[in-house]
Structure 1
Amino acid sequence: MATTTSGGAPPARTFFGHPWGLATLFFTEMWERFSFYGLRAILVLFLVAPPADAGLGMAEGTAKALLGVYMSMVYFVALPGGWIADRVLGARRAVLIGCVVIMCGHIAMAIPGGAGFVYLGLLLIIIGTGLLKPNISTMVGKLYEGQSEARRDSAFSLFYMGINIGSLAPFVVGYLGQEINWHLGFGVAALGMAFGLVQYVLGGRHLRGVGEAPGHRLTPDERRTFVRGLLAGLAVLAVAVLVAALAGVLTIDGVTVALTVLAVAVPIAYFGYLFRSHEVTEVERVRLRAYVWLFAAAAVFWMIADQAAGPLNLFAQEKVDLSVFGWRMPSSWTQNINPIMIICLSAVFAWLWLRLGDRVGTAQKFAFALVVTGLSFVVMSMAAAAASGGAKVSLLWLLAVYLLQVVGELSLSPVGLAITTRLAPRAFASQMMGMWFLATAAGDAVGGQVARLQEPWGDVPYFLVLGLSTIAAGGALFLFARTLRRLIGEDRPEAAVPAR
Structure 2
Amino acid sequence: MQLEPKQGQPKALYGLGLTFTFERFAYYGGKPILVLFLAYAVAKGGLGISKSEATVIAANLGAFTYLAPIFGGIIADKWLGPRYCIMIGTVLMAAGWSLGYFATSAAWINALIIVVSIGTGFFKGNLNALVGELYEKEDQRKDMGYSIIYSFVNGGAFVGSLALGGMYITHGFRICYLLAAIFALMSGIVFLFTCKHLGDLGKRPNKYSVASSKADVKVDVNRPLTKREKNQVLVIFILALFSVFFWLFYNQSEASLLLYVDSYTKFNIGNFKVPATWTTTSFNGLLCVVLSPIMATIWFKLSKTRKNGDLTMTQKIALAYIFLGIGFLVMVGAEFVRGGVTTASLSMLWILMFTLFQTIGEMCFSPLGNSVVSKTAPPKYLALLMGVWSFATFLAQKGSGYIEGIIGQLGLMQVFIAIPSILFVGSLILFACNKKITELTE
Which category describes the TM-score, using the shorter chain as reference length? 0.7 to 0.9
Query: Once the two structures are superposed, what CA deviation does each residue of 1:32-87 show, in whole Å capped at 9, x if it has no partner?
Result: 11111112322344455456642544445x65555444322111111110010111
User: Corresponding residue for 2:390?
Assistant: 437
- Please say if 1:350 is aligned against 2:296: yes
Query: Which secondary structure does the structure 1 equivalent of 2:33 belong to?
Result: helix
Q: Deviations over 1:247-266 (max 9, x none)?
A: xxxxxxxxxxxxxxxxxxxx
Partner of 1:493: none
1:456 to 1:343, Cα distance in 2 relative to 1, 3 A: same
For the 8 Å contact 1:371–1:475, the answer to whether it is kept is no
Unaligned runs of 5+ in 1: 1-11, 218-276, 490-500
In structure 2, C-alpha distance between the alignment counterparts of 1:180 and 1:55, rounded to whole Å: 16
What is residue 327 of structure 1 aligned with on the other side? Answer: 272
Relative to the length of structure 1, the TM-score reads 0.77
Question: Does 2:321 match 1:370?
Answer: yes
Change (3 A) 1:381 1:123: farther
1:427 aligned onto 2:373: no
Q: Please name the residue that 1:305 is paired with.
A: 250
Pair 1:166 & 2:156 matched: yes
Equivalent residue, structure 2, for 1:108: 99
The code of the aligned residue for 1:151 comes to R
* Residue correspondence of structure 1 range 8-19 to structure 2 within 5 A: 17-19=8-10
Separation of aligned partners in 1, 2:166 and 2:410: 32
**Conservation of the 8 A alpha-carbon contact between 1:42 and 1:178:** no
**After the TM superposition, which residues 10-159 of structure 1 pair with which residues of structure 2 at under 5 Å, given as runs?**
17-49=8-40, 53=44, 54=46, 56-59=48-51, 66-145=57-136, 148=139, 150-159=140-149
The correspondence of residues 153-302 of structure 1 with structure 2, limited to 5 A, is 153-168=143-158, 169-178=160-169, 180-216=171-207, 279-302=224-247
Distance 1:452-1:42 versus aligned 2 partners, 3 A rule: farther
Which residue of structure 2 aligns with residue 231 of structure 1? none
Mapped pair 1:417 → 2:362:
no
**Distance change >3 Å, CA 50–CA 305, structure 1 → 2:** farther
Moved more, 348-357 or 90-99: 348-357
Q: Is the 8 A contact 2:256 2:403 kept in 1?
A: no
Q: 1:86 to 1:487 in 2, by over 3 A?
A: same
Cα RMSD between the aligned structures? Answer: 2.5
Offset, 1:110: 2.7
Q: Deviations over 1:156-186 (max 9, x none)?
A: 1111111010111111010112454233333
Question: Deviation digits for residues 359-389 of structure 1, max 9, x if unmatched?
Answer: 5221111011112213323323443552841
Alignment-derived partner of residue 260 in structure 1: none
**Contact in 1 for aligned 2:69/2:125 (Cα 8 Å):** yes
CA deviation map 1:449-484 (0-9, x unaligned): 334444454443344333332332222222212221
Across the two proteins, how many residue pairs are aligned to each other? Answer: 417
Instruction: Name the residue aligned to 2:427.
Output: 474
Q: Render the CA deviation track for 1:229-288: whole Å, top value 9, x for unaligned.
A: xxxxxxxxxxxxxxxxxxxxxxxxxxxxxxxxxxxxxxxxxxxxxxxx953221111222
- CA distance in structure 2 between the aligned counterparts of 1:162 and 1:437, rounded to whole angstroms: 19
Amino acid in the other structure paired with 1:375: I
Match of 1:315 in 2: 260
CA contact under 8 A between 1:134 and 1:430: conserved in structure 2? yes
Distance 1:323 1:99 in 2: 38
- Helix, strand or coil at the partner of 1:279: coil
Quick check: 1:40–1:309 contact (8 Å CA) kept in 2?
Answer: no
CA distance in structure 2 between the aligned counterparts of 1:214 and 1:64, rounded to whole angstroms: 38
Question: Counterpart of 1:203 in 2: which secondary structure?
Answer: helix
Distance 2:55 2:248 in 1: 13
Q: Tell which deviates more after alignment, 447-456 or 29-38.
A: 447-456
Q: Alpha-carbon deviations, 1:274-311, whole Å to 9, x = none? A: xxx95322111122222222111111111122233333
- Contact kept, 8 Å, 2:288 with 2:359, in 1: the verdict is yes
Judge conservation of contact 1:64–1:452 (CA < 8 Å) in 2.
no
Shift, 1:26, TM fit: 0.7
